[in-house]
Amino acid sequence: MFDLTTATVLYSLLLAVFFLSLWIYYDRRDHAQFEAERRRTIFHCVRCDSVYAKRGELGEGACPHCGHTNGRLRF
């Protein structure tokens, strides 16, 4: 059916495609996790004067210390 050279080349190509697909999958997954971690919104509480951050792009966030809802801090 196949000689040894053809089978070796076919096996090597399938192995390369497998590792390339794993590399692409984990690279995209890690990039998505990094972007989710990187996107933070910073808030300043006017009641207790603390600065805190929440994940995501939010317009308002509750203070973890006193519970007061604050608008995002704009620079």
Listed by start position, the domains of the chain span: 1-38, 40-75
State the pLDDT at residue 54: 86
Model confidence pLDDT, tens digit, residues 13-49: 999 999 999 999 999 999 998 987 788 888 999 999 8
> Position of tokens 């792009």?
57
Cα–Cα distance for residue pair 52/67, rounded to 1 Å: 12
pLDDT of residue 28: 97
Contacts of 60 (CB under 8 A, 6+ apart): 69, 70, 71, 72
* Three state DSSP letters for 4-52: HHHHHHHHHHHHHHHHHHHHHHHHHHHHHHHHHHHCEEEEECCCCCCEE
Cα 49 from Cα 63, distance rounded (Å):
10
